[in-house]
Chains A and B, each alone.
Chain A
């Protein structure tokens, strides 16, 4: 809720969504500059800053950038100019931004800079992969903090700005869907008003990454990380938690972080277990001493983490020095695919503390009715998302189906359909069945080019307007430059619909927006046409004619999203 995020009462507890708490944290440190490209589960961050930036009282700067790399580059420029900067994106956006991220960690930040990266275990709102962005720490040597709940979202963002200020390094806050879209009580502190009034002071030694200086920078970075590790060793966000009176001689313990911590606490409460617990707020640099102190007298430790066993591997490494007999259990009991859930953690803890048979019985008793139900194997149909009634894409589908039905020759009947990230991913559903491959944003055209070059087969590829601006343009140029002939249908619905209708450079909310046809023409495409798909005959005839062209062709299907039309 907008009002909750903005109210300037301190010491008051309000209910905030994880993403709202992140915004609040940034406002409480007085963030000056915010850039983002929308992506669920991080989208609300941009939505709310966009709304804020339209009010007169807000003096900070906000933009929806064309893609995440550009958003980060804008943020780097702001940071180099001394501004407090927040850049937000989902995990796949961090992949796009990676090229800019790694050198930024080398140069370091000037104005404190926080990068929010939201992962989506179980792919609730993600198509292309189940990514664990903690791996960025190893690639980029960038500190990563992992909050568990909205209060920590706010606190960790503030801490991340402090770390960035103190050590002159950007810091990642890594959330997951169950943190970003978790609501809970958050205690407010005072908002500081930021303002976009920086100054870029020339300092090539700091800002220019070039050999031989770049190797010195790497050395300085690694030294910096060791200093931050010392900070991490002292930080309260890495802490031992004793639930109830834990016996000092306890020989089993749990190490956890992020949302997994909440499931562990829930299970310990329910089972009334008194085990020592180490909660890690820093994923990188890890508090190695704290971990070693925690494990040195244990017989067994459970690593409760989602997805890949990064922490487990680190604990294995650290145990070699202090307790080589330690039994380290993680992915033996917890899945590497899919998000954790409280019952999965309950079952793991029950097995981990196997002397307590009662626990298993307790768990089984609660699930028995469910199990009976499952064994019935009642077939409940699955309800998949679908295009809205009145969606202009239905018209595009209808026109192409007409071409396929009446098309001449097998080549047209066998045409390959390239899919992309957007609502039109739903072209892959049974009812439409027009999606033969799907990968990342901007890829439908790039992959089409490769298939065409490799096989000579006919292709129709779809790309949304926001995706086209995001990363479709270089791929379009490649089809002209390297001469392939897919038919590219740019689905111009004048918004970024899937993530909640954020504007993009061609959206009519911006006067004098960029016209896609001008870009297409400037790229050297000979055959292109702007068509409102309500004109079915024109659409059908154009598809037929463009499929015959020896060069690349583009249809810009222009009709606004039914949701913004309303």
Chain B
């Protein structure tokens, strides 16, 4: 097990399209970082850009964090809720960047879209390791809804140590952040990730 005393900093982006719950995921991770006594900063965008457009949030935690934004080339993890959006975040990727990507494509109307294969090939050239996980499909199949695909992915990232935050901190944070009526479903998504 890692000890967070040793993390100097961790830089992460969550990217996807508007309405995929990036801000909730950010709030859960922020709360989890607080539980682990880490300094924390994040940046997000609100407003019209969220109407089906690209949404990118930045999360940084560690010993002492100043900038709310991740530097180009410096992400430790890019968590992509959608494949094309994951590639669009490529300027944040560098030599040490892992990609954890939902095997899920939301087509962009009226434009030439990249195929799953092309996207995966490009991501592999950019990132250190690329983990493609059919989170939307798994959640739909096992839980009957895909709205918790993001929670599934951050839980998985924690279990697989792609994020240096313990699963129990994520669990505690979820209990604090997620409204009561959705909590059970979200906890199921976390458990589903545990059993992968």
A269 at the interface (CB under 8 A from B): yes
Cβ contacts under 8 Å, B69 to chain A:
178, 263, 341-342
Given contacts A367-B94, A369-B73, A388-B52, contact A181 B43 (CB under 8 A): yes
Q: Does A436 contact B (CB under 8 A)?
A: no
A to B CB contacts below 8 Å, 7 in the list? A177-B45, A266-B71, A341-B71, A343-B71, A343-B73, A369-B93, A500-B47
Other contacts beyond A184-B40, A383-B53: 20, CB < 8 A: A149-B41, A178-B68, A178-B69, A182-B43, A183-B40, A184-B68, A366-B95, A367-B73, A368-B94, A369-B73, A370-B90, A373-B93, A380-B87, A380-B114, A381-B111, A382-B54, A383-B54, A385-B49, A423-B51, A426-B51
A1 touches B27 (CB 8 A): yes
Question: Which residues B104-123 have CB closer than 8 A to chain A?
Answer: 108-114, 122
Query: What's the Cα separation between A40 and B74 when bound, in Å?
Result: 28
Complex partner residue of B109 from A262, A367, A386, CB under 8 angstroms: A386
Q: How far is the CB of A266 from chain B (nearest CB, A)?
A: 4
Interchain CB contact under 8 A, B47 and A41: yes
> Which residues on A sit within 8 Å (CB–CB) of B125?
373
Please give, as numbers and ranges, the residues of chain A lying within 8 Å of B114 by CB-CB distance.
380-381
B126 contacts the other chain (Cβ, under 8 Å)?
Answer: yes
Residues of A within 8 A of B122 (CB): 378
Interface residues of B (CB under 8 A from A): 17-18, 26-27, 30-31, 34, 39-54, 64, 66-74, 84-85, 87-88, 90-91, 93-95, 108-114, 122, 125-126, 177
| Shortest 6 CB-CB contacts between residues of A and residues of B | A385-B53, A125-B47, A40-B47, A381-B111, A266-B67, A265-B66
In the complex, the answer to whether B110 meets A431 with C-beta atoms within 8 Å is: yes
Contact A380 B84 (CB under 8 A): yes
In the complex, what's the smallest C-beta–C-beta distance from B169 to chain A, in angstroms? Answer: 14
* Cα–Cα distance between A385 and B42 once the two chains are bound (Å): 23
A259 to B66, CA, bound (A): 9
Residues of B within 8 A of A426 (CB): 48, 51
Within 8 A of B (CB), among A39-79: 40-41, 43-44
When distances are taken between beta carbons in the complex, the residues of chain A under 8 Å from B71 are: 266, 341-343, 346, 366
CB of B110 within 8 A of CB of A41, answer no
Across-interface contacts of B47 in A (CB, < 8 A): 40-41, 43, 124-125, 498-500
The answer to the question of A430 belonging to the interface, with a C-beta cut-off of 8 Å to chain B, is yes
CA distance A108 to B84 in the complex (A): 53
Cβ of B110 to closest chain A Cβ, rounded Å: 6
A387 close to chain B: CB less than 8 A:
yes
> Which residues 356-401 of A sit at the B interface, judged by CB distance below 8 A?
366-370, 373-374, 378-388
User: Is A15 among interface residues, defined by CB-CB distance under 8 A?
Assistant: yes
A17 to chain B: closest residue by CB: B44
Nearest Cβ in chain B — how far from A177, in angstroms?
Answer: 7
Q: Which residues of chain A are near B72, meaning CB under 8 Å?
A: 341, 343, 367, 370
Flag whether A337 is at the interface (Cβ < 8 A): no
Name the distance in Å between A430's Cβ and chain B's nearest Cβ.
6
Chain B residues with CB below 8 A from A383, complex form: 17, 52-54, 84-85, 88, 108
Specify the chain A residue showing the minimal Cβ separation from B106.
A383
Q: Contacts A44-B46, A125-B49, A184-B68 known; A373 to B90 CB distance under 8 Å? A: yes
Asked, given contacts A385-B18, A385-B48, whether A183 binds B30 with beta carbons under 8 Å apart, the answer is yes
Q: Which of B31, B45, B52, B68 contacts A124 (CB 8 A)?
A: B45
What secondary structure prevails in chain A residues at the interface with B? mixed
A182, B48: Cβ atoms closer than 8 Å:
no
* B31 engages A15 (CB within 8 Å): yes
CB atoms of B40 and A185 under 8 A apart: yes
A425 interface residue (CB < 8 Å to B):
yes
Bound complex: CA A175 to CA B142 (Å): 44
Chain B: minimal CB distance from A106 (Å) = 34
Of all chain B residues, the one with the shortest Cβ separation from A379 is: B112
Q: How far is the CA of A259 from the CA of B48 in the complex (A)?
A: 23
Minimum Cβ distance to chain B for residue A384 (Å)? 6
A124 to B49, CA, bound (A): 7
Q: Is the CB of A15 within 8 A of B30?
A: yes
* A43 nearest CB across to chain B (Å): 7
Are A182 and B49 in touch, CB under 8 angstroms?
A: no
Given the complex, which residues of B lie within 8 Å of A430, measured CB to CB? 110
Is the CB–CB distance between A182 and B68 below 8 Å?
Answer: yes
Residues of B within 8 A of A343 (CB): 71-74
Partner of B26, one of A125, A183, A342, A373: A183
**Once bound together, how far apart are the Cα atoms of A242 and B109, in whole Å?**
52
Task: Give the residue of B46, B52, B112 whose beta carbon is less than 8 angstroms from that of A500.
Answer: B46
Tell me if B45 and A181 are in contact (CB < 8 A).
Answer: yes
**Residues in B neighbouring A425, C-beta threshold 8 A:** 48
Task: Report A-chain residues with C-beta under 8 Å of the C-beta of B17.
Answer: 383
- The complex places the Cα of A499 from the Cα of B123 at a distance, in Å, of 34
Q: Measured between alpha carbons, how far is A369 from B124 in the docked complex, in Å? A: 12
B73 near A125: Cβ-Cβ < 8 Å = no
Q: Out of B67, B85, B93, which one reaches A263, CB within 8 Å?
A: B67
> For the complex, what is the distance from the CA of A481 to the CA of B68, rounded to whole Å?
52
Nearest Cβ on chain B to A47's Cβ, whole angstroms: 10
CB nearest to A363 among chain B residues: B73
Shortest Cβ distance from residue A17 to the other chain B in the assembled complex, whole angstroms: 8
**How close is B142's CB to chain A, nearest CB, in angstroms?**
26
Question: Whole-angstrom distance between the alpha carbons of A262 and B17 in the complex?
Answer: 28
* CA distance in complex: A380, B27 (Å): 29
Complex alpha-carbon distance, A262 and B43, angstroms? 12
Interface string of A1-17 (1 = CB under 8 A from B): 10000000000010100
